[in-house]
Amino acid sequence: MPTTDRVQPARDAAEAVREFNHRTFPNSPQKPGLTYPSEAYDAIAALKILAQRLPQAIAQIVTALNALGELDHLGSSDGEDPARHVACSEQFLNTAMDCAGGLAQCLDLAHSAVSPLTYSGPDNEL
């Protein structure tokens, strides 16, 4: 059994997004979650990179499930053929990869759209 939890980085990424959501939650229209357009620009860039990396991570899960099936290392707690579950999950994971690619493209366009924005409010932070 490996001593390193291979899934922990994915859990950490999910937790990081949760923490971002908490830190940027708007308190009111006068107190938005981000103070400067540059913060939005940087956040979009980070989320874009995350989305760009998701397809590989998802593909590696598909590869692992298929390999475990080929090695006859899978069972099923519902008595069904494990290959059926793998095929079903692969279908959804392939769709998720496509969605992640689309998400990355949209974030790239949003990143470009935000790039010319500058802050013109008061010098004190909101």
Model confidence over 89-111: pLDDT tens digits? Answer: 999 999 999 999 999 999 999 99
**pTM for the full predicted model:** 0.89
CA distance 31 to 20: 16
Using CB atoms within 10 Å of the CB of residue 125, give its burial: 0 to 12 exposed, 13 to 18 middle, 19+ buried.
Answer: exposed
| pLDDT for 100 | 98
Backbone dihedral angles phi then psi of residue 92, each to the nearest 5 degrees: -70, -40
| pLDDT for 69 | 97
| pLDDT for 2 | 55
| pLDDT for 29 | 80
Using CB atoms within 10 Å of the CB of residue 56, give its burial: 0 to 12 exposed, 13 to 18 middle, 19+ buried.
Answer: exposed
Low-confidence ranges of the chain (pLDDT < 50): 126
